[in-house]
Every structure is written in C-alpha cells, then in structure tokens.
Chains A and B, each alone.
Chain A
Amino acid sequence: MAFKQVTSPHAHGAQNTAKVMQLVVWATIPGLIALTWHFGWGSLINVVLASITAVVSEALILKMRNRPVGFYLGDYSAVVTAVLLGLALPPLCPWWVVVVGTLFSVVIAKQLFGGLGYNPFNPAMVGYVVVLISFPVEMTTWVAPLALLPEGVAHPDLLESLRLVFFSASPMDGVTGATPLDSFKHTAGLTVDQIYQQDSLFSQAMLAGVGWEWVNLGFLAGGIMLLARRVFTWHGPVAMLVALALMSLIFWDSGSSQSPGSPLMHLLSGASMIGAFFILTDPVSSAVSNRGRLIYGALIGILIFIIRAWGNYPDAVAFAVLLANFTAPFIDNYTLPRTYGHTDRRKATERLDD
C-alpha cells in the first residue's frame, strides 16, 4: 500500500485568512455602533450597501478572470474592504457614491492588480479618494451629531434614511453640520480657546468633539481587541498615533490662532483611530518588517498632520496612507531584521559577490 506524500510541516495552527478577516469585521462594531448612535443610520446603510456591491462585483470579476469564485469570496477580504469604505464615507451620502467607491476599490484597486495579496495600494482608500475628488459636495456633507441637533429634531429614521440615500436628488439638508477638523480649518483668527468656547461641537464635548470622540474611542477599542488577538503587531498603529501626537504637540503654538489643534483633538477626531488600527494595518500594502512598519506608521502620522494643518483637505488619512503605500517597498529594502547568526542587518538590495 502506498501512502500520500506530503511535505512538512504536517501540523497546522488554527488560524486562517477567513477567520482573520472576519475578526477585523467584528472589531469594527464598536466604532459602527458609535457612528450609528451619534450620526444616525447612514453608516450602517453605507456598510451594507458597500458589502453587497463588493461581493457582487468581486464575484463577477473573478468569473471574468476564470478564478474559482467561491474559494476567493470565502476569504472575506472583499467584505473587509467594503466595511472599511462604508465606515469612512459620510452617513446618508447618495447610494451611487457608495457604489462607485466600492467598485473602484474592489475592481480597479484590487482585482485588476491580481486580487488579494497583490494590490500595491489600500483598496478602500483608493475608492475613498476617487469619490472624494469626484463628488466633493456629497463627500463633505456630514450629518450633525445627535447632541447638537436642534430641539425637537432627530436623525431620520431607517426608512427615511433609506429614502434619502436612494431617492433624494440633492444632498440632504437640515441635519448637517461641520466636523471638528472642518471647524479648525475654517476658523482662522480665533485662538483654540475661543473655538472651544464658541463652537458647541467642542464646548459640549468631553475630549475632542461631540460624537467624534466616541467614534474614535470605538475604533480604538476594536483595534486593541485585534492587537490582543495578534492580528497585527503594535508597530504601525502606535508609530502613527505617536507621530500624529508629536506633530500636533510641536505645532500646538500654545493654542494661538495659528494653532492647528491639540494632540487630543487630532487623535480623537476624523479618521485617526480607524486609520491607525484598520487602514494602515492592511498588511498587503504596508511595509512588512516590524521596523519597517514603525517607519511606515510614523510617515502616515506625519503626512496626516501636514495635510490637515496646511493642506486643502480637513482630513487626510486616505491621502497619507496612499502616499505611504508608495514608499512601502522602498522601506522594506532597508528594514530587514537581523537574522540569527549575523552581526548586521542586511539590505535587500545587496548585490551578490561574484
């Protein structure tokens, strides 16, 4: 009797890609709950709509590429991309914004580069930037947080939200408001203290902006859960958050009218936490070694601050991540770990002696 010949190792750990991806999706739930609580049904609709679009478009393109559809859909990577994009898009934005963004993410940024594992850029952020540049009005209209709605006004209920998303011709009105980062961008001439006193977005907040601080704390909680489950290492997220905090500390300018805002405001506003734990941790498009991820994360933190403080956009996680994606292969060349038995780290570009 002949046995099957199999290569070692024979034992395999319990981990698999689908489980990792599912874990990432579960870890977004605290953030999603915070978003839904403070900004209404919009984000949930975004997430569901983006997920359906992603799965359908991935299935179609896999079919076109003659790849086994079930096998690749089963890795849940399309769902992760869609969920992250859905969370990043403004609540109650028109349905076609979500669909166009998702199609770009899944079809162009991911599948046309070879599918999972071969995309040089973070697919969700590619989709986000495409719709941000293409549909600036829709993309900069945010729902006002629950606490700041006028007396007697509430967020639209689920049905009304769906109507707004699918059938409203113009961007919705009445319940919109500025984000904390918008406020800082458009209040030149006021000191930080004045902004905090005059703008109810800050005056009614505990830490960094009504609603937003909770959203960021939600994603921080999810991120810590993923860290504890060793889905990624601490290097990237911590480097990014430290770099962002340090930059805002250096340019704090004691809260003068020139100040771009406090470290706390920067850490807990906009997409800081989802960026740190869910976006830049995308392993495919990031640097690979731990040292490389420190540099990569820090670079993103610095770029975010530069664009927020002096650029044209109030938030900058997407741009910063895409710019850093460009640098990842270069960083990889110079951040090899020191291998056992070697005195020095080697460079990937080292030539062989002839």
Chain B
Amino acid sequence: MRQTWVTPGGVHPPENKDQSLTQPIGSLPIPEKLVVPLGQHIGAPAIACVTVGDRVLKGQKIADPAGTISAAIHAPTSGTVTAIEARPVAHSSGMNALCVEITSDGKDQWIDKSGISDFEHTSPKALLSIITEAGIAGMGGAGFPTSVKLNPGFKRPIDTLIINATECEPYITADDSLIRERAEEIVEGIGILSHILGNPHNIMIGIENNKPEAIKALEPHTKDTGINVVSFPAKYPSGGEKQLIYILTGKELPSGNIPADIGMLCVNIGTTHAIKRAVVDGEPLVSRVTTMTGEACEINRNYDVLIGTPVEHLLKHNNFDAQRCSRVIMGGPMMGFSLTSKQIPIVKTTNCILAPSIEEIPHNEPAQPCIRCGMCAEACPASLLPQQLLWYSQAKDHERLQSHNLFDCIECGACSYVCPSNIPLVQHYRSSKSDIKKAQEEKVKSTQARERFEFRQQRIELAEKEREAKRAARREAAKQAKASSGTDSMADIVAAAQARTAAKKTSPEQELAKLERAVSSAEMRVQKAQDKLDTASANSETDEKINILSAALSGAQQKLEKAKTRLAEHSN
C-alpha cells in the first residue's frame, strides 16, 4: 500500500452506485437523428467542414479545430447531414449553440480505420497529431482538449502522471464499469500517454476504495508496468484535480497554477481509453460510456452511447417516468447541471444522466438565514470560510471576497450539501466570480481609456508649449530689431498711421461694384414683393394681408430708389 494523504473537509453523501452496476455496459439502438454540438470542449468551438446534404461515414471528421485550444468533431454514425444550426446544448445556462444534425442511415458504416500497432516506435509528435485528429477532450467533465494538455513546452519535465479514476460523485459508475470491462485497453492508453510524456517515473491510478472490482480488474494489466494503482477511502470530492494531487502526493497545487507547473499531469481514466482507441484502433472519439440512473428510470445501467444521442433517446429506452422525476441532471447530483430540454445531446464530457425521483432528490426547500454554524467550513475541501464568502457575496464586497480566496473555490458543492439552512452557496459564489471577472475586465478597459486620454492631454499641452515658445522667440526677435533701429520720431508715427488708414480704404472700383450689387439685389426684392402681392390678390386673400404686402412692396421700391441714387452719385 502506498501512502496517501487526507484532504480537509469533504462529505459522504449516499453513494447510490450499486443500482447502475448490476449489468454490464450496454448499447442502444442508433437514434434516427444525432445532434453533434461543435463546442463540446473547453476552448473555441470547432468549425464545420461538411454542408447540409453531405453524406458522412462513422468517424468522418465533420468539424475542424479552430485555433490552438479546440478539438475536432466526428460523425458518430453514417448518414446524411440534415442541418447545421443552433440547438439547445449541454450547458448550465441552457443555451443554444451550433450543432450538426446527422440523420442516420442505420448502417453505422465506419471510415477506413488505420491504427498503429507499435506506438513505442512512433514519435510522440506523430502520436499527438493522431490524438488531435481524433478530437479527444478530457472525459472527466471539464473537456480540456487532450492534445493541448499533452503538448510539449512544459516549464519542467512531467515526472508524475496521475490517472484519475476516483469517480467520487454519487450515482456515477461510468469509469468504474469501463475499468471493469476494458482494463487492458485503459492500461495500453496509459502506456501511450507515458510514451508521449517521456516516461514519467511516477505513474499512479488514483481510485477510491469503493471500487474493489475495478481495482482487481486493473491488477493483472498493471503488474510490472510501473503503474501504481493507489486506492484511498471514498470521500467527496476526492476526484477534484487539486484534491487528488494532494491525496496521492501530499503536495498542493499552488493557487493559480496548473499541474504541469509542478511537473504533474492529471488525465481522466476514460480519456486514456479514448487515446488507446484513437492510436491503436484508429477510431476517433465518437462514443463514450455514460451512466443512466435515477429512480425515475426503470432501468439503471451504463451504456456505450454515441456522441450526439439526444437524452430523450436514452430516457425512452430506460422507461423514464416523467411524473416521478424531479429534474434531469447531466452529470452527478453534486456538480451536474439540470437540463432544460430532453433534446439536449450527449457530449464527450457526459458521464451520467441522472433522472432522480422526487423522493430521491426533492425540490429545493426555501433558504433560511445563515446562522454561521460553520458546517460549511468543516466540509470545504479547500479550507475556505463559505459562511464569510456568502456574507461578502451578498454585500458584493469584491475586495473581501478575494482576500477570502473566492477564486480557490472549486464549486464542488460540499458546503451547500451540508448547509442546514438550504442556502445555494455555490450559486452565490459563481455569480460573485463572474461579477468580479466582469469588474476586472471593465477596470482594464477604463485604465486603457484613461491612459489614452492622459496621453492626448499631454500631447496637446506639449504642442501648446512649443507654440508658446515660438511666439516668445518672435517677440524677443522683434524687440531686438526695434532696439537696433533706434527710437522713432513723432512725425514717423503719424505717417505710419496715415499710411495704415489709406491702406484700409477701398479702391473706387470696389466701391462701384458694391453699389451695383446693392441695386440689383434691391431690384430682386421689389420683384419678389410684387409677385407675392399678385398671388395674394389672385387668391383673394384678406384686405389686411394685401395691405401688408403692398406696404412691403413700396418699402422695397424706396430702397431701390436710394440705391440707384447712390450709384449715380458715385459714378459722377
């Protein structure tokens, strides 16, 4: 037995795992239509490389990764692309996102598969590109593109490879059953990983001791491979990456770092199986093992489900009773999110569909006030003070939230689970985290704007100063010139003034032109006044109006006379 370390806090919710482990992994009939979301991973959604009407084969790439952090998407079965449009997808917000709909032809016809039988003699680079092409993303829940995680360029070599087989959430048995039935493939996948990473000297499979059969299944295959199967007492949330690192190594992942920064790498055990399939069998990631459980379904078991299978298809084949069901959860009862629609498809990260009865998971009771009993702090695996975080979250005190390390919260839900006042603590933290992130972004923006403004002010001031300096120089030069030419006599000053006045006077030609313009514009005005008067009399307007108009006409006529007189005087 290897030494393990005990994390603080944690809870022991009822495991509820047995009901889905009574039967082996099953398979479902191929659904008529599969809806494959383009964003099933962390990072940019993939870009569709098929168009509506295209015929696709099972395993054919239907979307290319977009940018560095992204993953390819493949057709889960053979058929025809019948739509590329936004559909409801697996997301806690219940949002819609771009999906490729494939109408199955029922043949489930594979592309030509070409695997590599001796990966040991293949370069890590070539293996990585196979993993990239196969569209593999972390299957434990987060869905980080695996090839990006494995890509070289680490600050330090990876010396510890941790395979996460903890599966600490209640109800979920996808990894457990996968290990029981496909341990050999899993170990082969770990071998490929190890080869890519330059054979780290410490390889561990971390697994909770509530899976004795899985542990036993791994034993024959891990023997003499240098892979250690390390089991430890079950406690939620031991499967959190940070918690598992501590349990297995006694080291903490420094806040804000990723495991690679301390020479470690954590990979979900389901992902290792997908890697084996991609490398050895040439099969991209088109299906996964998903647990279908909960009392609202008659049958509870694990299925090898095609990616893109609508949840409804799964529910239907397990005799789902909507009347008994309190909610449908994708994921487990601690961190899973409730689905808004049965049309939402299974994706690469879907390890469980939980359809509990109302007795099993009752509707939420209204929250009572926090009495700061501290049960949450006792349950917190990160040693936070959830009761204080709640207080500051409600007060929107971002500074206090950060000094209480809000961002080290892994949102495991242990605090809400134990809260005697039924307070949805995690929801408060999520909301505060996004508030803070938003505030920080706005702060960056406003800082940039301020800097731009200040720079502009500075530039204007500088230009003004330069002009002022030039003016000063000119004044100085003029003064000096004056001084050198000696003092002016009174007669000179008078002469200069007369010259200026003369210069101001307009020439006779200009004066004439001006008067001519005045005459012509006066003529125009007379004409206009005459026109108005004519129209008015034609329309038989009131006398009053006609009087006003005739007065205006005679006024204009007088002005015309005056202008003509002045022109005549000037000409003489």
Indicate whether A and B interact. Answer: yes
On A, residues with C-beta under 8 Å from B are 1-13, 15-17, 19-20, 71, 75, 77, 115-118, 230-233, 283-284, 286, 288-290, 332, 336-343, 346-352
- Asked if A339 and B405 sit within 8 Å, CB to CB, the answer is yes
Of all chain B residues, which has the CB nearest A235?
Answer: B374
Pairs of residues from A and B, 9 with the lowest C-beta to C-beta distance, nearest first: A9-B413, A117-B369, A341-B255, A11-B333, A350-B403, A339-B405, A340-B382, A15-B420, A9-B334
Answer whether residue B371 sits at the interface, using C-beta atoms and an 8 A cutoff: yes
* Contact indicator A332/B388 (Cβ below 8 Å): yes
B341 to chain A, nearest CB (A): 6
Whether A11 lies near B13 (C-beta < 8 A) is yes
A8 CA / B236 CA spacing, docked (Å): 14
Known A-B contacts A11-B333, A17-B368, A115-B369; the reply to A6 vs B327 at CB < 8 A is yes
Cβ B342 vs Cβ A16 within 8 A: no
Complexed CA–CA distance, A71 and B421 (Å):
12
22 residue pairs from A and B, CB less than 8 Å apart:
A1-B342, A2-B340, A3-B328, A3-B338, A3-B340, A6-B327, A8-B337, A8-B426, A9-B334, A11-B13, A15-B419, A17-B371, A231-B373, A232-B374, A283-B374, A284-B371, A288-B388, A290-B374, A339-B255, A339-B384, A340-B242, A351-B399
Residues in B402-417 with C-beta less than 8 Å from chain A: 402-405, 408, 411, 413, 416-417
Please give me the residue from chain A that is nearest to B368 by CB atom. Answer: A17
The answer to the question of B210 belonging to the interface, with a C-beta cut-off of 8 Å to chain A, is no
Known pairs A9-B334, A9-B416, A17-B421; A284 contacts B372 (CB<8 A):
yes
Q: B342 and A10: CB pair below 8 A?
A: no
**Segment from B39-47, B123-131, B223-231, B246-254 that makes contact with A:** B246-254
Contact check, B335 vs A233: say whether CB atoms are below 8 A apart: no
Q: Which residues of A contact B342 (CB under 8 A)?
A: 1, 3
Contacts of A286 in B (CB 8 A): 372
A17, B420: Cβ atoms closer than 8 Å: yes
Residues of B251-282 contacting chain A, CB below 8 A: 252-257
Task: Output the residue of B331, B342, B372, B427 with the most chain A CB within 10 A.
Answer: B372
Smallest CB separation, B329 vs chain A (Å): 6
**Is there an interface contact between A348 and B255, defined as CB atoms closer than 8 Å?**
no
Q: Which residues of A contact B368 (CB under 8 A)?
A: 17, 71, 75, 116
Q: In whole angstroms, how far apart are the Cα atoms of A119 and B329 in the complex?
A: 38
The majority secondary structure among interface residues of chain B is loop
Q: Which residues of A contact B356 (CB under 8 A)?
A: 10
Contact B388–A7 (Cβ < 8 Å): no
Within the complex, which residue of B371, B373, B408, B416 is in contact with A12, where a contact is CB–CB below 8 Å? B416
A10 to B417: give the CA distance in the assembly, Å: 8
- Nearest residue (CB) in B for A6 is B338
Return the contact of A347 from the options B333, B341, B388, B403 (Cβ within 8 A): B403
B336 CB–A CB distance under 8 Å: yes
Question: Is residue B378 within 8 Å, beta carbon to beta carbon, of the partner chain?
Answer: yes
B84 at the interface (CB under 8 A from A): no
Contact residues in B for A340 (Cβ distance below 8 Å): 8, 242, 246, 252, 255, 381-383, 408
Q: Tell me if B333 and A9 are in contact (CB < 8 A).
A: yes
Cα(A17)–Cα(B367), bound, Å: 10
In the bound complex, do residue B364 and residue A6 qualify as a contact, i.e. CB atoms below 8 Å apart? Answer: yes
Q: Which residues of B contact A16 (CB under 8 A)?
A: 365, 420-422
What is the CB-to-nearest-CB distance from B246 to chain A, in angstroms, rounded to a whole number?
7
- Determine whether B322 belongs to the interface, using a CB cutoff of 8 Å to chain A: yes
Q: How far is the CA of A283 from the CA of B385 in the complex (A)?
A: 13
Using A10-B333, A10-B338, A340-B383 as known contacts, say yes or no to A289 and B420 having CB atoms under 8 A apart. Answer: no
Which A residue's beta carbon lies closest to that of B398?
Answer: A352
Q: Which of A6, A11, A351 has the most CB of B within 10 A?
A: A11
With beta carbons under 8 angstroms apart, the residue of A3, A115, A284, A339 that contacts B339 is A3
Q: A115 contacts which chain B residues (CB < 8 A)?
A: 369
Given the known inter-chain contacts A10-B361, A11-B334, A117-B370, please indicate yes or no for A341 contacting B408, CB distance below 8 A: yes
The residues of B that contact A19 with a CB separation of less than 8 Å are 420
Q: Give the docked Cα–Cα distance between A7 and B252 (Å).
A: 29
Counting CB contacts under 8 A, is B205 at the interface? no
The interface residues of chain B lying within 8 Å CB-to-CB of A13 are: 11, 13, 417-418
